[in-house]
Structure 1
Amino acid sequence: MTSFSDLNLDPKVLKAIEATGYTTPTPIQAGAIPPALLGRDVLGIAQTGTGKTASFTLPMITMLAKGRARARMPRSLVLAPTRELAAQVAENFDNYAKGSRLKKALLIGGVSFKEQDQLIDRGVDVLIATPGRLIDHFERGKLLLTGVEIMVVDEADRMLDMGFIPDIERIFEMTPFTRQTLFFSATMAPEIERITNKFLSNPEKIEVERQNSTSETITQVLIEHEPRNRSFAAKDKREILRAIIERDSAQSDNPLRNAIIFCNRKTEVDVVAKSLKKHGYNAEPIHGDLEQSHRTRTLDGFRDGSIKFLVASDVAARGLDIPNVSHVFNFDMPSHAEDYVHRIGRTGRAGKLGTAYTISTPSDAKYLDAIQSLVKADIPRGENPWTPPGKSPRDEAAKEDAHNAEEPKRTSSRTRSRSKAKPVQEAAATPAPETPAETKPAARTSEPREEQKRTRGDRSRGGRGRNDNGPRVVGLGDHVPSFIEMSFDERRAETA
């Protein structure tokens, strides 16, 4: 088995690694460090949580141990998609570069330009930055990238998702052609493959098997719920979330101590955090639209336990190493199956027990199928602890009692209505008296034209004149015109 001492790292680096408690490199570290120390370009394909950060920080510290930084001209550059990941890389450098004289600077949004300019002016060996803030400094004339010897692109697939690929290409063109490039991504989308073919020179490719299995220390539970209608789905899920929190906080086996709650959209992150706080829970949101000072303060509070519930988006929590998380909630079903493995991997770390809940509605069926296909197992179904109004056994019993109480009234009302209708039916069955002869309509007379018009007009409104209260005449009555009788006589003669 390979150990860090077999990788030709600097003795000071090995001592720092020993102080952190690590003894054996991960597959991506064992594959990437040797060619990186030889100065070759490296293309690493591995998911978050496989030790990628150390696979480039350790060889960089060893290679940069000799040399001297110059003002505004960093010797190495590390690009990360989010502020939190950039800050985590900087923390790794602090841990592994103890005993060396390397200087670093962190360029991220939400921090004063003046403070960052002062660090760059003094000269840094390692510059860690997000693409947007790096370009801002370059365009202001405060930074030169012509002295970059080593360039690292971390989480390239997230760069693609966030629309940073044009910025990455521009930054590549600012750096020397002779630089060494270490490029890491969880997947190889066509756009990422195009960049690697363009900017990497005969790279050493290290591909770690895709992480498609979940830790055995994590208890996975799927809570299925069919909302009353689509507009109630989010509200119902917030009710379910609070019900699970209340139930698991009281249990003796792996009780809920803290939790990360993942949502797919920033707006949903804010709504869920606000709802939890409204109901008395100690919760805070974290996503890309918040001030960096607020995000840093929130993460620190969650790590030290002063914040119990962290409501986060995938981008904000991507790759963060937060220990001792007892529960994870997928408030929204992740649209990418790989994100499910990443999310629930925030709990059950270092051999500790963890619980991961996923709240599912019928509209999530295709995402659920993709997740279960990836992990090659069905997520165990759990009991929904929340019952919608009107669906509890007590409510159903009350409805049944009310129904039984109303049933006799309905029967009696029907009986009364039938009894009332009976005389009318009998009257309808009684034959109408024969029309008197004097009321029979006479043959057409030569009455005045105006009177005929008036009569026709009255008959057009309902079939009778306004002042005619006699019985309605159906058909031709007893009077049949002679020309019609003649036609019947001719027909009878023909058939005789």
Structure 2
Amino acid sequence: MKQTNTTFNNYNLTKNILKDIAAMGFKTPTSIQAKCIPPALDGKDIIGLAQTGTGKTAAFALPIIQKVAHNMDMAALVLAPTRELAQQIAQTITNLGKSSGARVALLVGGTSIKEDSKALGSWPNILVATPGRLIDHIFSRTVDLSKIEILTIDEADHMHDMGFLPQIQQIIDVLPKKRQTMMFTATMSKKIEHFVRRSMHRPKRIEIGRVTPATRAEQKLFRVNEDEKLLLLMDLLSQKSQRILIFARTKRKVDQLARRISALNKNVARLHGDYEQSQREMAMEGFRNGKYNILVATDIAARGIDVANIEHVINYDFPSSAEDYIHRIGRTARATSSGLATSFVTRSDLSCLKHLEKMISSKLKLIHVGSENSKPYANKNRKNQNKNKHYNQKNKNHAKGKSQYNPRRRENKK
């Protein structure tokens, strides 16, 4: 997060807010905060473009707290694509608005209706929600959005990827026409921009830098075959103990990798959409406090992970979009830290890699496994892999012997 030379005292924030800012350890605003807070406090609609880890949450949270913390009614709505991100936002707003009277309610999937009723019955003035869960309450008429003064949509690009735009439009349709709207995203297609501008009034576009992977992250891309990935991963994990986040494409792959890694006596947690909310919270808390030093997750489940000091992000499966690559890399090298991002690239991933390079206007070096540049990982893995291939072939040949089940054999018939 690039810091500025200004301080939060320059923004005419209340003493209570400044007190909570100091308590959270924030000293100077980041670039996105410095550019967004003044117009947001003035009531301007905002389109904010900045990559993950630049302080976007505080950029909209502080103006929201300043403007609605004194309200008795629910006056601000924040939409996030995933449970984890919504929880992170709600916690940040709660911390920054602790002394100002901010009352935050959280509506996400995976929690009971009883818990939702309790949250909505606590007279919140700020609501943080995922689109699907909020739609359920709108249809059930268990939430009142008629007094909303500020709407914020976070990670609009991922909202689009997950197919949430129709639901967001349904939510917008029941909100007051006269309101302030802020939208934040790391990347923006023409389709998304057209969608958000339809519901905004002369928005101020704020873009912080070119949309690229975190500049402090060292990126290593390995050209591998699919059957080389696991051995390469195991070798990477054996190098030294770090806090590592591993991305896999499917829930099944996440479970498989977690089992293989745990067999190496590694403290590993997993995160994907099939887990109950309590399980997801336990995994995240364990990863955050150091109980687990490795987390294996799918993209959707991992959105919103805000864990300090993730030294290494590994793309076991290369992301299918350039936007997802940027989000993943943004999980390391947060704030002023540095980090390492390793990606496994197979032949089928080369078109995605080409699109990424075009988007960021940069050529990424691709290391072929087995080359001198891939040491100490690749050559060691190549040797182990050859041993495994020999072992597997031996077992396969043995399986073809007489002990193999043959339905035509008389002794196999009932």
1:323 maps to what in 2? 308
Deviations 1:385-405 (A, max 9, x none): 31266747xx9xxxxxxxxxx
Query: Does 290-299 or 277-286 show the bigger shift?
Result: 277-286
CA shift for structure 1 position 64: 1.2
1:159 aligns with 2:159: yes
Alignment of 1:82-481 (within 5 A): 82-216=82-216, 218-225=217-224, 227=225, 233=226, 235-246=227-238, 248-249=239-240, 256-373=241-358, 374=360, 376-379=362-365, 381=367, 382-383=374-375, 384=378, 385-387=380-382, 391=386
* Contact 1:103–1:124 (8 Å) recurs in 2: yes
| Letter of the structure 2 residue corresponding to residue 241 of structure 1 | L
Structure 2 CA distance for aligned equivalents of residues 22 and 293 of structure 1: 30
CA shift for structure 1 position 266: 2.7
1:33 aligns with 2:28: no
Deviations 1:60-97 (A, max 9, x none): 1101133323xxxx221111000000000011112211
* Contact 1:157–1:188 (8 Å) recurs in 2: yes
1:16 aligns with 2:20: yes
1:490 maps to what in 2? none
* Contact 2:69–2:125 (8 Å) recurs in 1: no
Structure 2 CA distance for aligned equivalents of residues 236 and 119 of structure 1: 49
Consecutive unaligned residues in structure 1, runs of 5 or more: 228-232, 250-255, 396-496
Structure 1 CA distance for aligned equivalents of residues 100 and 291 of structure 2: 34
Consecutive unaligned residues in structure 2, runs of 5 or more: 368-373, 391-414
1:49 aligns with 2:44: no
Query: Does 53-62 or 362-371 show the bigger shift?
Result: 362-371
Structure 1 CA distance for aligned equivalents of residues 130 and 112 of structure 2: 14
Structure 1 CA distance for aligned equivalents of residues 112 and 291 of structure 2: 27
| Letter of the structure 1 residue corresponding to residue 365 of structure 2 | I
| Letter of the structure 2 residue corresponding to residue 12 of structure 1 | N
Structure 2 CA distance for aligned equivalents of residues 390 and 123 of structure 1: 60
* Contact 2:69–2:102 (8 Å) recurs in 1: yes
Structure 2 CA distance for aligned equivalents of residues 33 and 99 of structure 1: 19
Structure 2 CA distance for aligned equivalents of residues 68 and 313 of structure 1: 39
* TM-score, normalised with respect to structure 1: 0.71
> 3-state DSSP class of the match of 1:199?
coil
Residues 1:188 and 1:220: Cα distance change in structure 2 (over 3 Å): closer
Q: Taking CA–CA contacts closer than 8 Å with sequence separation of 6 or more, which of the two structures ends up with the larger relative contact order? A: 2
Residues 1:77 and 1:350: Cα distance change in structure 2 (over 3 Å): closer
CA shift for structure 1 position 292: 1.1
Residues 1:350 and 1:173: Cα distance change in structure 2 (over 3 Å): closer
1:439 maps to what in 2? none
Deviations 1:190-240 (A, max 9, x none): 332232232111222212223325434x44333332x3xxxxx2x431122
* Contact 1:220–1:380 (8 Å) recurs in 2: no
Deviations 1:370-397 (A, max 9, x none): 44452624336323131266747xx9xx
CA shift for structure 1 position 279: 4.5
* TM-score, normalised with respect to structure 2: 0.84
CA shift for structure 1 position 129: 0.5
Structure 2 CA distance for aligned equivalents of residues 267 and 67 of structure 1: 46
CA shift for structure 1 position 170: 0.5
Residues 1:10 and 1:320: Cα distance change in structure 2 (over 3 Å): same
| Letter of the structure 1 residue corresponding to residue 222 of structure 2 | I
Deviations 1:16-52 (A, max 9, x none): 1122222222222122211111122112122222211
> 3-state DSSP class of the match of 1:206?
strand
Deviations 1:105-154 (A, max 9, x none): 10011111112112212321001100111111222221111111111111
Deviations 1:279-320 (A, max 9, x none): 443222212232111111100001111112100122222242
Residues 1:47 and 1:219: Cα distance change in structure 2 (over 3 Å): closer
Residues 1:222 and 1:188: Cα distance change in structure 2 (over 3 Å): closer
Structure 1 CA distance for aligned equivalents of residues 182 and 145 of structure 2: 16
> 3-state DSSP class of the match of 2:84?
helix
* Contact 1:212–1:338 (8 Å) recurs in 2: no
Residues 1:18 and 1:270: Cα distance change in structure 2 (over 3 Å): same
State percent identity of aligned pairs: 41
2:405 maps to what in 1? none
Larger Rg: 1
1:3 aligns with 2:13: no
Query: Does 275-284 or 81-90 show the bigger shift?
Result: 275-284
CA shift for structure 1 position 271: 2.2
Residues 1:18 and 1:168: Cα distance change in structure 2 (over 3 Å): same
| Letter of the structure 1 residue corresponding to residue 364 of structure 2 | D
* Contact 1:347–1:353 (8 Å) recurs in 2: yes
> 3-state DSSP class of the match of 2:219?
strand
> 3-state DSSP class of the match of 1:386?
helix
Structure 2 CA distance for aligned equivalents of residues 10 and 223 of structure 1: 51
Structure 1 CA distance for aligned equivalents of residues 299 and 161 of structure 2: 11
* Contact 2:94–2:102 (8 Å) recurs in 1: no
| Letter of the structure 2 residue corresponding to residue 183 of structure 1 | M
Structure 1 CA distance for aligned equivalents of residues 220 and 316 of structure 2: 12
